[in-house]
Structure 1
Amino acid sequence: MKRNQTITLRDNRIIGYSIYGDENGIPLFLFHGTPGSRIWFLENDELAFKLGICLIAIDRPGYGLSDEKKEREIIDFVEDLKEFSKKLNINHFTILGVSGGAAYAAACAYALPNRVKAVAMVSSATPFSNGIPPRNMTFKNRIVFLLSKYFPLFLHYLNYLEKRILDKNPNKYKRLLQKNIVHLSDWDKEMLTDKHVVETNIVHIKEAYRRGVKEVVYETQLLTKPWGFDFKKIKVPIDLYHGEDDTLSPISEVRKMVSEFSFCKPYFIPKAGHFLMENKNVWEKVLKNLKIHYEN
């Protein structure tokens, strides 16, 4: 495991990343959610190592160790990944994008059909109609998107308070995380009773805020806007995994999105919520399917 790695791009921006699993294995890029960071595991991932998969988790601009890229759009991350993968001497790869990160995974599939072998979109965000989050999204999450669109300074303040608690009193953050879960599915509530899941989440999110909260607010705004590419023109295989009880990204909106893809195989998981990667069975299925895509 290599946790705090960096690469400098042509424009002198730094991109941070971590490596898990088999360092000499099949390359699989991990795109974190919004917010998120390259810290996906506190220890090495034994399953990835066993399957011969090299997990490369990247900090997007403004998160963790990565420098900000001003006025970026979702599709702009393609150029970062092209240069990043070239510097690692990786020509072909698969991508796993979680939640907000799934938008970037789809963008790379669209723009790099000759290099991306397959993409897994997990608990994916969905494009909004007219920039407004769907009414069947849980109220708390809906408010966050609306604040990012109409009152970004207030959302900046709320995220700053969250960062402050994380920095000064992680135990208080843990208590708040496990207390304020009424809006989540039973699946997600159960996940947040797992000590290891909570400890990993705290380190993951604390690292996301390393450079402040500006990028969290900006990227939340980005997800309310058009993503900048046509799903129907994606020729790369897309595996989509989504919990049917996901309250943060409603399954009804995901089904609409799936219908727009030309090559998408959906896996809708009964009674599952948003936190799918924390489930060992789902994690194993995602990795094994991506390995099959890469080798075919």
Structure 2
Amino acid sequence: MAGPAINRPPTPAPASGGMAGKLAVVLLVILSALVYQHIQPPPPTICGSPNGPPVTAPRTKLKDGRHLAYKESGVPKEEAKYKIIYVHGFDSCRHDALPISPEVAQELGIHLVSFDRPGYGESDPNLARTEKSIALDIEELADDLKLGPKFHLIGFSMGGEIMWSCLKYIPHRLLGVAILGPVGNYWWSGFPANVTRDAWYQQLPQDQWAVWVSHHLPWLTYWWNTQKLFPPSSVITYNPAILSEEDAALMRKFGMRTYFPMIRQQGEYHSLHRDMIVGFGKWDWSPLDLKDPFAGGEGKVHLWHGAEDLIVPAILSRYISERLPWVVYHELPKSGHLFPVDSGNADAIVKSLLLGDDLVSSWHTHCTSPPCS
């Protein structure tokens, strides 16, 4: 005898494989768009644009339409014996020029030009910035300001690294170069593994990560230095752990810059982060391959570094000076990274560049066989 009929709900048909695949693709696209939006840096707030910061400095217009803001000091260029272009470092601007004393500038007849590098201060960002483009910017700036066929260069920190680019791309325009506490790229060819390893591990772990990201994953540099999951670059956040004893004292002076907000006003990506991407990026050449630009004896390249530098390890500078005998190396045994901020040091540096080593030998330790003791 048959039992009562039971009304069961209809069995649902299995989902179409095509439908599930389409749903997965849609979700992946949405997720990718959200991630892309999160890691994408905001556009720059360009000076002089309708919603951008005002233009307050004199600026020159380059051939590609960008502007460079600059500042002149010292004696008038028409009366100057020496014309020097100064290239500022990381998180700095034209106001952070080498503090040469007025007395020395007058005595030697120095006309000093400093400028905001692209993306800093009031200079337009260069969305196609490379290690070569900044050297060509400097050459064009010199021509626009009528500094003559040749001039001297001084660069500090990230600006010091840029001096190698100038020695490669515009050596015919240079009378002499001073390279101060230069940033080094751990991936430049020619460094022995033990040299780069020792320099690498002198950094804080958070800086190792920040530098690694800027080299291997440059498109993540903005996100890495703005996210809250991991500590970003200690240089960007002014971590006191990277200051030597001397630097801590100098930072009280350096940190009192009333114009500091102006430095990053066009966006941290287009100033700080682009600096890291280019400075630690993939170069197709190395300073270790450079030839003496002053083989005829008409100029000198001076490389200065503080032995107690905790921001930029001196190891790479020591090795470069060993490999390039035409580089005059000065290592300051008790100094950190900020030694050029001191006006007495600045005067000694510029006298050494313009007049020769022997005039300042009592002040610094001149290393012919680094490291210094």
Same fold (TM over 0.5): yes
* SS of aligned partner of 1:221: helix
Q: Deviations over 1:149-208 (max 9, x none)?
A: 44413345269xxxxxxxxxxxxx9xx85xx413311111121234xx3223x52x4332
SS in 2 for 1:199: coil
**Gap change, CA 1:41 and 1:81, over 3 Å in 2:** closer
Gaps of 5+ in 1: 160-172
Q: Which residue of 2 aligns with 1:74?
A: 131
Q: Cα offset for 1:128?
A: 0.9
Any conservation in 2 of the 1:113–1:234 contact (CA below 8 Å)? Answer: no
Q: 1:33 to 1:8 in 2, by over 3 A?
A: same
2:175 alignment partner in structure 1: 117
Query: What is the rounded CA distance, in whole Å, between the counterparts of 2:205 and 2:165 in structure 1?
Result: 28
1:52 maps to 109
Q: How many Å separate the matches in 1 of 2:204 and 2:164?
A: 24
Q: Secondary structure at the match of 2:340?
A: coil
Match of 1:23 among 76, 92, 97: 76
Counterpart of 2:330 in 1: which secondary structure?
strand
TM-score normalised by L of structure 1: 0.81
1:211 aligns with one of 249, 255, 266: 266
Classify the secondary structure of the residue corresponding to 1:84. helix
Q: Distance in 1 between matches of 2:314 and 2:226?
A: 30
- TM-superposed CA distance for 1:249, in Å, is 1.0
CA drift of 1:261 comes to 2.5
- Cα distance in 2, alignment partners of residues 79 and 244 from structure 1: 32
**More displaced 10-residue stretch of structure 1: 248-257 or 223-232:** 223-232
* 1:85 equivalenced with 2:142 (yes/no): yes
| 1:2-35, Cα deviation, whole Å (9 max, x unpaired) | x822000111110111112223222111111122
Map 1:26-41 to 2 at 5 A: 26-40=82-96
Aligned residues: 270
The answer to whether 1:153 aligns with 2:211 is no
User: What does the per-residue CA deviation read over 1:222-272, in whole Å, with 9 as the maximum and x for residues that have no partner?
Assistant: 111244444332414210110000011112222122233242001000111
Is the strand fraction higher in 1 or 2? 1
**What TM-score, normalized by structure 2, do the two folds share?**
0.65
Within the candidate set 179, 183, 186, 2:245 is matched to 186
How far residue 274 of structure 1 moved from its aligned partner, in angstroms, is 0.2
**Residue of structure 2 aligned with 1:253, choices 316, 319, 323:** 316
Give distance in 2, aligned partners of 1:259 and 1:140.
30
Residue 80 of structure 1: CA displacement?
1.4
Q: Which moved more, 1:231-240 or 1:74-83?
A: 231-240
2:343 is the counterpart of 1:280: yes
Give the whole-Å Cα distance in 1 for the aligned partners of 2:154 and 2:222: 31
**Could you say what the CA RMSD is over the residues aligned between the two structures, in angstroms?**
2.8
Deviation digits for residues 98-145 of structure 1 (CA, Å, limit 9, x no counterpart): 001112122112222222011111011112137997111244543432
Q: Is the CA contact 1:147–1:154 (under 8 Å) kept in the aligned structure 2?
A: no
Segments of 5+ residues of structure 2 without an aligned counterpart are 1-55, 190-195, 229-235, 295-299, 357-373
- Give the Cα separation in 1 of the matches to 2:135 and 2:183: 18
- Report the Cα distance in structure 1 between the residues aligned to 2:256 and 2:227, rounded to whole angstroms: 22
- The answer (yes or no) to whether the contact 1:247–1:273 under 8 Å persists in 2 is yes
Distance 1:270 1:84 in 2: 35
Which residue in 2 is equivalent to 1:106?
164
- The 8 Å contact of residues 103 and 124 in structure 1, kept in 2 or not, is answered as yes
Letter in 2 for 1:98: F
Q: CA deviation at 1:71?
A: 2.3
Structure 1 residue 49: deviation in Å?
A: 3.7
Looking at structure 2, the residues matched to 140 and 20 of structure 1 have their Cα atoms a distance apart, in angstroms, of: 38
Identical aligned pairs, as a percentage? 20
SS in 1 for 2:331: strand
Tell me, yes or no, if the aligned pair for 2:119 and 2:126 is still in contact at 8 Å.
yes
Greater RCO, 1 or 2 (C-alpha within 8 Å, sep 6+)? 1
Matched, 1:134 2:192: no
Distance 1:44 1:144, change over 3 A: same
Q: Report if the CA contact (8 A) 2:85-2:153 is conserved.
A: yes
* Aligned-partner residue type, residue 311 of structure 2: L
Output aligned runs, 1:159-178, within 5 Å: none
- Shifted more, 7-16 versus 144-153: the winner is 144-153
The equivalent residue for 1:164 is none
1:211 counterpart letter in structure 2: Q
- Structure with the greater alpha carbon radius of gyration: 2
